[in-house]
Amino acid sequence: MQFNSFEQAWTLVRGLGGGTLAVLGTSNLNLSIVLACGALLLGVQLAQQYKNDMYVLLRLPVPIRAAVYAAGILIFFSFGEYYGEQFVYFQF
């Protein structure tokens, strides 16, 4: 993304601060979820880097992988957005 002026860049930063980030920041819970997910992703990436193996998760012992898969499915169930607005293309 390229900005033609400092004003344009500032508008974007303000938009993030007053919009997306503000929405997350108004709820400590939402912010915590985002941070936890970020930490999880970072952990996997660090493990991949450390082991020099993109498939490091797939080489974990079976019981751990099974637990990770099951937890993933439960998290998907529980944190899914079920009652939001329709996908924008279906709203018109």
Partner 1 sequence: MASSSSTSSFDGTKLPGGVPWAFIGAVAILLAVEVAVRLAPPARVIPYRGGLEEHFAIANYLHRVGAADVGFVGSSMTRAGIAAPQVREELEAVTGQSLYIANYGASGATADETSAIVHYMVRRNALPRLLMYEVSPPHFRPSTSFRLRKVAIFWGLHDWIGAWHLSPRQRMRVMPIVVRNEIGDRYLTFRYRDRFRYLAQELIGFSRALPAPMAGRLPQNWHQRASFAQASEERRERLVLRWLQGNSIDPEARLNEELVADMRRTLETARRLKIPMVLYEMPLTATARQTLPPHFFDDFYALMEDFSQRYGVPFIRIEDLGIELTDEDFADPSHLNRQGAMRLTQALTQRVIIPAMAGEGSLADGGVLRLTGRVLLASVDDDEQTNIGDDTDVQDRE
- Binding residues (CB under 8 A) for partner 1: these are 28-29, 32, 53-55, 58-59, 61-63, 65-67, 69-70, 73-75, 77-80, 82-83, 86, 90
Residue linked to tokens 């099974």? 66
C-beta of 1 vs 29, nearer to partner 1: 29
Shortest Cβ 29–partner 1 spacing (Å): 5
Closest CA to 35 of 26, 24, 50, 46: 24
C-beta of 6 vs 90, nearer to partner 1: 90
Alpha helix ranges (H) inside the chain: 6-18, 20-25, 28-51, 62-79
